[in-house]
Homo-oligomer: A and B are copies of this chain.
Amino acid sequence: MSEEAASRKAPGALARLSINQETIKQWSLPELAEGCAASGITQVGLWRAPVQEYGVERAARLMRAGGLTVTSLCRGGFFTESDAARRAAALDDNRRAIDEAATLETGTLVLVSGGLPPGDRDIAAARERVAEAVAVLAPYAAERGVRLAVEPLHPMYASDRCVISTLGQALDIAERFPVDQVGVVVDTYHLWWDDQVPAQIVRAGTGGRIAAFQVADWVTPLPEGVLLGRGQLGEGCVDLRGFREQVDAAGYRGAVEVEIFSPALWARSGTEVLAEVAERYQRHVL
């Protein structure tokens, strides 16, 4: 089914869909804007590096001109350095990320908290350093209309990428701050295995803490480094619709952002991938 057929077939069905640009990494920002317009998709999630390369102001103008809402900017974070100078540098970089989010008029900056510094074996202390950094940054972000979104990453990333591994841990940090300043990300790829997730989604939704909902499927074998092995929607073992129904039941009304890191998708035509995502979104998530 082409993207036009998808939008013809189900008018309004794509209203909540947001395309994270990493899903179609082979596209430039103008190609992404054009592709979304052609498909009736009005929301995108962006990443800092390609936005900086294109120019932040210029990217913001492009999104506005295309009628596109930026649902999230990835990513701030990496707060867990124990060295004072590195921590200060990380805070500075996060202030720039917040400024970029404000320029892009997105309300949500996704935070990937950081892993354990070399030689460090105290993950509880590293989690506390995350909370301390959020305390410093949240008011700065709030002044610029940006909310920080703590993202729990799958436990396989706990040592080198993100010491926040469960939705419960993310909420333990977020709830220390005003609800309009700090929320959490619910990402199916990271959380699908956890039997505590249904209760934690209720906790997050009831508290108004769900800042973003991202979807990708889980497939194996995992590739070396485990970063780029996410599955296309419906290809793996995640009950994507069940997740979406749970966040909806918990009161979430925001975007459903498709974020798939997959060399297999990147090797194909962007137009074809976008059409497939739109079709599978309707079949497996909506």
Q: Which residues of A contact B (CB under 8 A)?
A: 116, 120-124, 127, 154-156, 158-160, 163, 165-166, 169, 192-195, 218-226, 236-239, 242
Contact = CB atoms under 8 A, between A and B. Distances in A.
Nearest to A122: B239
A195 B173 CA distance: 13
Contacts of A156: 154-156, 222, 226
A238 B166 CA distance: 18
Contact of A238 (B121, B163, B165, B237): B121
Contacts of A123: 192-193, 195, 237
Contacts of A166: 194-195
Contacts of A155: 154-156, 193-194
Nearest to A236: B159
A120 B159 contact: no
A121 B237 CA distance: 5
Given A120-B237, A121-B238, A193 B225 contact: no
B169 A195 contact: yes
9 contacts: A123-B193, A127-B195, A156-B156, A159-B193, A159-B219, A160-B221, A163-B193, A165-B194, A169-B195
A286 to B, nearest CB: 16
Nearest to A160: B220
Contacts of A218: 159
Given A156-B156, A158-B193, A121 B221 contact: no
A198 to B, nearest CB: 9
